[in-house]
Amino acid sequence: MSDDRPGLKHLGIIMDGNGRWAKKRNLPRTAGHLEGLKALKRVIIEAANQQIKWVTFYAFSTENWKRTEEEVSYLMRLFTSKLLGELAFYRTHQIRILAIGDLLGLSSEVQDVITKTVEATKDHEGITAVIAINYGGRDEIVRSVNRLIASDNQITVESIASNLDLSQAPPVDMIVRSAGEMRLSNFLLWESAYAEFGFYEPLWPDWGAKEIQLIVGDYAKRVRTYGGLE
């Protein structure tokens, strides 16, 4: 672990285990999502403390529409009221909010709150929190390629990359997932090509400063050679 190794600049988080957290307590799954939101706030604050400049949170996948109407509509309400609408919290901690995914596939109400939250936080100078909503890695690549075809551009690795939702962000250094599952579930497929991975047992609603400190320590031990030699 040498000091000249670059630090963790962009962390991707697959927030999983809200349902299991609720089930263990005999609560409805929605209670797990509400608690998960509190974890998200703790994690943003600690990530900022640890000098991580960007965190991308997987909040709702293109596959999550398969869930019950009750759960989907609860999540959408949570996004509009609590996730995107927490302007005082974002101001206090200087958090800039961005959103990725097929946002046009969301209700006009959710789209509206996203637009307002992004606009209201755009000058905040602390951490950038990217919320992936109606996001799928395959869909992100397809939308990028379609934009290139429509503009008559050549399809190259560089042109696809520069049309992805996350093209303005620094490279994703590490992708972590809670609740012990070891899969990507369609998260950041392109961006994960050379990302480090970390899988952690605690359920998402139980995450806080400790997990972020652990991740920062784990990342510092990784040796990244990108196909080359150390």
Q: Please identify which of the residues 64, 134, 163, 186 carries the catalytic annotation.
A: 64
- The smaller minimum CB distance to ligand IPE, of residues 17 and 160, is found at 17
Cβ of residue 114: shortest distance to ligand IPE, in angstroms? 16
- The smaller minimum CB distance to ligand IPE, of residues 20 and 41, is found at 20
Q: Please identify which of the residues 3, 4, 16, 18 carries the catalytic annotation.
A: 16
Residue nearest to Mg ion (CB): 16
Two tokens, residue 207: 């995450």
Cβ of residue 189: shortest distance to Mg ion, in angstroms? 18
Q: Tell me phi and psi for residue 153, to 5 degrees.
A: -90, 155
In this chain, which stretch among 8-16, 36-44, 82-90, 128-136 interacts with Mg ion, using CB under 5 A? Answer: 8-16
β-strand pairing of 10-14 with 54-61: parallel
Cα–Cα distance for residue pair 41/219, rounded to 1 Å: 21
132, 60 Cβ separation under 8 angstroms: yes
Cβ of residue 140: shortest distance to Mg ion, in angstroms? 20
Note the residues at the interface with ligand IPE (CB under 6 A). 14-20, 58-61, 64, 75, 179, 181, 183, 185
User: Is residue 146 annotated as part of the catalytic site, yes or no?
Assistant: no
What single-letter DSSP state applies at residue 80? I
Give the alpha-carbon dihedral of 29, 30, 35, 37, to 10 degrees: 120
Cβ of residue 91: shortest distance to ligand IPE, in angstroms? 26
Two tokens, residue 202: 């605690």
Sign of CA dihedral 134, 46, 51, 221: negative
Catalytic machinery residues: 16, 64
